[in-house]
Structure 1
C-alpha cells in the first residue's frame, strides 16, 4: 500500500475540519452586523467579536501544542471539537439573557476549540502523505475553508439577518420594554443555526473518536518537550518571521471579511440583504484563489507566488482607501482572491525545516493568529475617530506590506526545498 492510499481516509477527515472552522469564522461578519444593530454598538464595540474569537489563539495555542506533544494529534482534535460544540451551545443562554458579554464569552469558548483544531490539523495535514506535496496538500485542505467562506455568508444572511434591522436612532426612540423585546427577538435569530452546528460538531467528534488515525512522530519529539522547545523553535528565522507575518496577515483577513458588510453599509449605504451577496462572492473568490494558487504552486515557488499576491492585494487596498463608489467594494471583494493562499503558505514556509520543532513551531504560528483580535479593533477605532471607514484600511495596507517582506525574504527558496524539508 502506498503512503498516499494509507493516509487517504485520515486526510479526508482532517480536511473536513478546515471546512467547519471556515464556516464558523465566516459567520462572524453576519454576527457582527447583526449584533451591532441589535445592541446599537460602535465600530470598536462590534470589533470585540473578532477580539473574543482570536484572543483564544494567544492563550490556547501553546497548551494545544503541549496536548499534542503528550497525547498526539487525535487527542488534540477531540478536545478541540468538544470545546467547539460547547461554544455553539452557549449561544442559547447568551440569546436568552440578551447579554452581549455572554455572546463574547460563548465565542471565546468556541474559539478555544478552534485554536486546538487548527494547531493540530495544519501540521497534521502536512505530514500525512508525500512530503514533496505538503504545501500543495495544505493549500488544498485550506480550499475547503474557502468553500465554507462562500456558503457561510449566504446561509448566515438568510438565517440570521432576517428583515432589515432598526437603526440605532430608531432603537433609542423605543420604550425600554419595546427595546428589550426588539433585542430579544433579534438575538433569538442566532440560536437555531448555532444549535444545529453544535450537534453536527458533536457527531464529527464521535466519528473521530471511533476512527483509528495514524499518529505521526517527529524525530526526538520526546526530548523536545522538555528542552525549552518553544524558545528553540522561535530562534529559527523562518519560524519567527512566520509568526510576525501570520499576525499581520490574519489581522488583515479578519478585518476585510468581518467588516465587509459594515463597509457596504457605511461607505455605500447598502442594506444587509443586498450586501450579503458581496460577502458570498468574497467567500467564493477566496475559495477559487486557493484552488488556483494550489495549481500554480506546481510551477511557481510558493514564496514567489505569495510575493505576487501580496503586491496585488496592496494595490487593491489602495483603491479601497482612495476610491469612491462601487469600485471600492469591488476592490475589497477582489482582494479576497489574493489573500487566499497567504495563511497556508506563510504557515508552510514558517514550519519548513523545523523537524522535531514542528509541533512547537505550529503552536507559535497559530498563536500569532491573535492578530485577528488586535488589528480589527485598531482599524475600527480609526473609523470611529475619523468617521470614514475607508481610512481604516490603511492598517490593512500595512499588513500586506509585512506579508510582502516575509515573501521577499523567502523568495529564493525553490518549491522542492520548501516541500522536502517540512518533515526533516
Structure 2
C-alpha cells in the first residue's frame, strides 16, 4: 500500500536527499495556459463571465454572485450547535495566538535630530479563498479571516465555489463561519475565476451603469487546487499572494518508542485530503516500519474515504523512509521541509528544536496534525512542496507592510552631507549629492 525507501548506509547531501525523497507531482506551468484565458474573460466581461464559468466548471449558474445577507444569517441560524461551539472555540484560540503575532512599531535615534521609525500598516483590502471541492473547509475561513482581522485589515472578502445542492451558494457551513466572524462580503465564485475577480475586480451585470460587483483587493490568500494556484501565479505582482499551495503533506519522524497506531492514523488523516496528498514516515526502527505497514490496510479499510486514501498512500509522493539513526532522520526531514512535521521520538521537544525546515512542527504523541488543523491556535495555511526552506505559514504578518519613516533635522543632515556626496559621486549620480548640498548653500 505504501512504498519503502531505504536510505541506511547512504551519505547524501541536502540536494541529493531532496531529489530522492517522495513528492507530489504538480506541473503548475502546464496548467497556466488553461487558466490565462479564464482570467482574461473575467477581466473583460465581469459578472457575466463569472456566471458562465461557474456553469461550465461547477455545474450551476448562480443567481446571486454576492451572497445575500439573509443567506449568511440563515446559515448561522441553522448551524448545528456542536459545530458552532467547535468553530467558536477555534476562532477564540486562533485569535489569541494571532493577536500576539503583531510586531511592534520601532524608533531608532541615530544621533541628535536623526531618527528612523518603522510602522506596520495593514493592507487596505484582502480576498480570502476557501475551497469547496471534495471537502468543505470552514476551518479555512477561520485561518484566513482571523489573522487579517488581527492585522487590522478594514475590508475582507471571502469567496468560495457555488454548489448545486445549495442553490448556487457556497456550502452553508462556510457561510455560517463567515457570519460568526462578521464577514458580510462573500461571493459564490470558485476556481481561477475567483482569483481573477479578486485581483482585477469585476463589473456588475450592467457595465453601462458603472457599478462594480467586486472591487479589487491588494492581497489574495487561501489554498486551492492547481487551477487556483496557477491563477495566483499569474496575478502575482498585480496583487500580493500568500503562497502557491500544492497538495498537502505530512512527515513523521519517529523512533522505536512511537505508537504505530498513532503513526498510522496520522498518515491516513492527511491522505484523506485527496489522491495527491503526501504521507511520509521517517524512522530508524524497522520494527516500527513493519508494524505501520502491517496496520495500514486494516485501518484504511475502516476509513470513510478509503479510495482516495489508497491512492494517496500508494502514490509516488508517499513512503516509509528508513534511516540509520535520528541524526540521519533529522537530515532527511530538514531536506524534505514538510508542510506538517510530527516528532514522535524520545525527548521530542529537544529533537524539534533541531528542525530547520517545516511549515509547522507537532511535538510528541498528543500533538497530531489534526489538532493544528482546527483547534491548536496555530494556522493551517502552510508552505508545501519544500517551500518551508524559505517561507512560513499564513499569519498576521501576511497582511502587514513595514513602512520606514525618516526624519532628520538640518544639523543631522549637515553632518552627513560630505559623505553622501562622496558616495553619490562614486556612483556617478552627482545630482544626488547636489540635492543635499543645495540645502546648505547659504
TM-score where L is the length of structure 1: 0.24
Higher relative contact order (CA 8 A, sep 6+): 1
TM-score normalized with structure 2 length: 0.23
Bigger share in strand = 2
Say which structure is richer in helix. Answer: 1
